Amino acid sequence: MLEILKARDVTLAQLSEKFGLERSDDENFFREWQDNLPELNQQQKQALYEVKTEYLYLSKYPLLEPLVQMVVLAPILKLSGFYRPPFYLAAEKEIEITSEDEGTIVRGKIDVLVFHPQFWVLVIEAKKAEFSLEAAIPQALVYMLANPDSDKPAYGFVTNGNEFQFLKLTRQGTPQYGRSYPLSIYRGDDIYNTVSGLRRLRELVV
């Protein structure tokens, strides 16, 4: 019997069971988000300081997903250079993936998709501020599995406004993924490191 699931309801266990996805334990599997990071200039740091200040002020009240996208995600993507060629953005893009035995179909909509004309670069899932990133990661991995170019890594980025996490997925042989440790808007220079990590991914693609 065909099973149809919504992406937002999928668990990591289901992705492992039905799609063979495994987490890589190799510490070198996903170094892109932290090695050879570009330096931010003072203007970029000032802009991020303002993002942080505005978020901390607005977070006194519940921040729903659209506000997280507007207040935090939009300026971070701009400062990371994803609003310029050769990249394009799409919102609420519908995807569908089917398990190898064709017994399960997962459907969903990507919050924000950053793509190069030839392949998907970054899948972004945003959640409202009180959600843990753990709620967004399986959903983002579903969307990354739908990347039409299986020869290149797919990258993901999840945020709830105050935390940020990078994801990487490969599909050569057994599908594997890795994830960064969570970065926090409340901790030191993490917001700067977040944008530096995104800019590094952009450099690798270009």
Q: What is the CATH number of the domain that holds 111?
A: 3.90.1570.30
Mean pLDDT score across all residues of the chain: 90
pLDDT digits (tens, 9 = 90+) for 59-116: 888 888 888 889 999 999 999 999 999 999 998 888 888 887 778 888 888 889 998 8
Q: How many residues does the chain have?
A: 206
Total-model pTM: 0.91
Residue 16 has pLDDT above 80, yes or no: yes
Q: How many domains does the chain have?
A: 1
- φ and ψ of 120, to 5 deg: -75, 135
Domain that holds residue 68: 3-205
pLDDT digits (tens, 9 = 90+) for 138-151: 999 999 998 888 88
Q: How many helices (H) and strands (E) does the chain have?
A: 6, 9
